[in-house]
Chain A
């Protein structure tokens, strides 16, 4: 239930063992690498690898060739032998020559769309197109907006025929007379026409003898291409030490070290605090119940590595608030079963289903307390009478006398949650030794004291009928906190031994502080009132189900259908609204008080194949 402790790991080797070191490191799936550009600074005088990646071009050429013989290259994990660059280039040349495919440049890769368009062009017979004496044909991709521009050009010496289209291009064959070819070609170039040379023979002839070699070389190039992409993370120190740096979970240090035991590398592991220039990535670790709620934390923003993980508090309060607003034993059971089933089927990747399963449990608990099962408010009455010794149900949601109690109860829950949020905020600033925010902010000690007093005063007046609004108490619990809010900046500066006088002068500062105070008071009120929605949704849920049950009674024998669809409709609509509203309470009323986020996600390097 925390943020996983990280270590900064650097693996150093020489040029000859670089690729093996990268393969070994990526195969652990533990390293969150840092780009070399982030590692290099004036002190270490490091360099980035600037080798050109030819393998990417080879892959494109091989794919190009494969397309031309209608071959889908299978992703092989292993290659049978290593190839030199000369061998690969010779193979590409030999193969290209054999199938007589030429494109407008070796760098250009023929895509599936290119092939479809070429197939269509093939219906015209390539040889016939090449044998024309007075008309010149070009074939290629023309961006869609260029096609429109061409129509505006008014050039009468060019005709185009669209063979195929996608969201970006038309594949066109362009016909022009030899006399105006130069002019037309200039126009086409200015419109970013991407030529694909018209082949001399039918490119779909399968030359199966090349298949095995092609796939083997492709696997070899693919492996090397992936390695080259990792070069972005490698820093060259002192022109000889090739260093791969990044963060690993501290508990996995030995596992990470053991990946290099057969290699001549040096693994240096240090505390992340030794690299203050790098932002340490955040990896959350929570127990199985709260794990899916990490999704909501990530949606807002991951916590900073040095901060605390709010997942448990968020998960718990989300479940409780949702359960209260969506209290129905039967519907909760369906949510629990459906959510858990799909969460397991999707192998815990669809975390929203995990959340649905968990909030279903709380919907069941509160549904039981409200005595509601699929909208039926009577079925649990005997159980309540037996268990709680009540006359009817424990909580009569639809009874008008209970309305105020529900709403006040909702606001009370809100006040407690706001106080807990403030306490978390105080803890956070204490941890970071951020004294100004801790003591004087609206969510710090001053805010906590003020808000606690307001809660106490409200409870005292409403429940005990007392008179807590005495002058000394007001001075201590309202006056002093307000002065702290107003003079937060000068007081913070005083603690930090900085000049106390505000930049805008005292007059301007106090005027601004007065307006900010008004905003602060409004914020406290609106934050608290925001929790009224919790009570509102209890009533709204019960009201909607009352409508469904009334319709069931009115429809007679078709009642069962109305009952099923009514329940499904309310579950879908109400579930969505309550889910969103609860999230809103979490983000706006609670996170805004104690949580900053701003963390960087831990993303481990994928294994190179």
Chain B
């Protein structure tokens, strides 16, 4: 068993070693078009195999994003081959549930904007066999009732049916999204409780709870800054999972801290040691940086294969976002130093 676990840890760490490095980012930010970025990724990085055969000149940035996201899923499934007899079901399940939630939200959004092609474009065909509802029927949905019909006999039915709209354009997007996210977080907490013990459990709970807590903080920031939401509304929209801040402290932030001082609260907390820059760019940059540094610590020092894999998934998620930031930056001709500041590595 131990050698099996070691094999998976070693494989994950070996694959992680191939990540994009400082030189890659320096080269990428200097590119002048999506085609040049694709060409660099294809010729100089570990995306070589997944980009083999693409036509860089004609490649759409959306397609490039799909390819690198799929590549991560393939890499994870490659690592999971080394998990003989180990309970890694929660990790694959996490990927599937996230995709299912995204699909449901895309369908609901399409009811309002009437852009049904987006549903087709965003189908996660790479994991089509693991999706718990009929994707073809989902694509054909044109009303909330039809959606509920498709979701029947799935765990999502009860969650989504509570938000059946009274009229055609009265969807509670935020409510549904929050409900689905709570379902996801609950599932992950169960997985952690059932599959981990001792130090590993403590470590993965800390990673996971921190992710949720930081997500809550981003939400609080945005709801305060851009929507002027009241404390009661904010409290109803956050997930009641706490890590470094207690419930009391989060309530205090919601009630008494204005948006511009939330970064100061983070800098005054134990998160400070994970924040490398004292300059505030935007809230997600800060929260991502904290997650990045915590995940990196785990991938370097942990020997629990599932913990290492979990950290790897998060780190690669950040790497993908870095690439997307570069693509967007290059596309909109953002100065090189500004793009570089946005990257986390």
From B57, B63, B118, contact of A143 by CB (8 A):
B63
Binds B, one of A20-28, A184-192, A526-534: A184-192
Query: How close is A173's CB to chain B, nearest CB, in angstroms?
Result: 17
**With A60-B57, A153-B139 as given contacts, are A145 and B125 in contact (CB-CB < 8 Å)?**
yes
A191 contacts B30, CB within 8 Å?
no
Query: How close is B304's CB to chain A, nearest CB, in angstroms?
Result: 18
Q: CB within 8 Å of A: which of B64-115?
A: 66-67, 70
From B27, B29, B52, B58, contact of A141 by CB (8 A):
B58
Instruction: Please give me the residue from chain B that is nearest to A148 by CB atom.
Output: B125
Let me know if A52 is at the binding interface, CB within 8 A.
yes
Let me know if A491 is at the binding interface, CB within 8 A.
no
A440-B35 Cα distance, complex, nearest whole Å: 53
Per DSSP, chain B at the interface is helix
Number of B residues near A (Cβ < 8 Å) is 33
B126 contacts A145, CB within 8 Å?
yes
Let me know if B117 is at the binding interface, CB within 8 A.
yes
Let me know if A485 is at the binding interface, CB within 8 A.
no
Instruction: Please give me the residue from chain A that is nearest to B62 by CB atom.
Output: A192
Let me know if B135 is at the binding interface, CB within 8 A.
yes
Q: Which of B53, B126, B128 has the most CB of A within 10 A?
A: B53
**With A37-B336, A153-B139 as given contacts, are A145 and B70 in contact (CB-CB < 8 Å)?**
yes
A104-B55 Cα distance, complex, nearest whole Å: 13
User: 1/0 per residue B321-345: CB within 8 Å of A?
Assistant: 0000000000000001000000000
Query: How close is A62's CB to chain B, nearest CB, in angstroms?
Result: 13
Query: How close is B186's CB to chain A, nearest CB, in angstroms?
Result: 29
Q: Which residues of B contact A60 (CB under 8 A)?
A: 57
A152 contacts B125, CB within 8 Å?
yes
B70 contacts A35, CB within 8 Å?
no
Per DSSP, chain A at the interface is mixed
Let me know if A107 is at the binding interface, CB within 8 A.
yes
Query: How close is A384's CB to chain B, nearest CB, in angstroms?
Result: 42
Q: Which of B52, B66, B121, B140 has the most CB of A within 10 A?
A: B121
Let me know if B54 is at the binding interface, CB within 8 A.
yes
From A52, A152, A187, contact of B136 by CB (8 A):
A152
Instruction: Please give me the residue from chain A that is nearest to B56 by CB atom.
Output: A109
Query: How close is B210's CB to chain A, nearest CB, in angstroms?
Result: 21
**With A145-B126, A149-B123, A152-B136 as given contacts, are A190 and B55 in contact (CB-CB < 8 Å)?**
no
Instruction: Please give me the residue from chain B that is nearest to A151 by CB atom.
Output: B136
Let me know if A154 is at the binding interface, CB within 8 A.
yes
A35-B121 Cα distance, complex, nearest whole Å: 39
**With A35-B30, A52-B32 as given contacts, are A153 and B120 in contact (CB-CB < 8 Å)?**
yes
User: 1/0 per residue A137-162: CB within 8 Å of B?
Assistant: 00001010110111011100000000
**With A52-B32, A152-B139, A190-B121 as given contacts, are A108 and B126 in contact (CB-CB < 8 Å)?**
no
Q: Which residues of A contact B59 (CB under 8 A)?
A: 194
**With A35-B26, A153-B120 as given contacts, are A108 and B53 in contact (CB-CB < 8 Å)?**
no
Let me know if B60 is at the binding interface, CB within 8 A.
yes
Let me know if A167 is at the binding interface, CB within 8 A.
yes
User: 1/0 per residue B131-165: CB within 8 Å of A?
Assistant: 00001100110000000000000000000000000
B30 contacts A108, CB within 8 Å?
no
Q: Which residues of A contact B60 (CB under 8 A)?
A: 192, 194
A154 contacts B30, CB within 8 Å?
no
Let me know if A291 is at the binding interface, CB within 8 A.
no
A192 contacts B336, CB within 8 Å?
no
A108 contacts B58, CB within 8 Å?
yes
Q: List 7 A-B contacts (CB under 8 A).
A: A52-B32, A145-B126, A149-B125, A153-B139, A192-B66, A194-B58, A194-B59
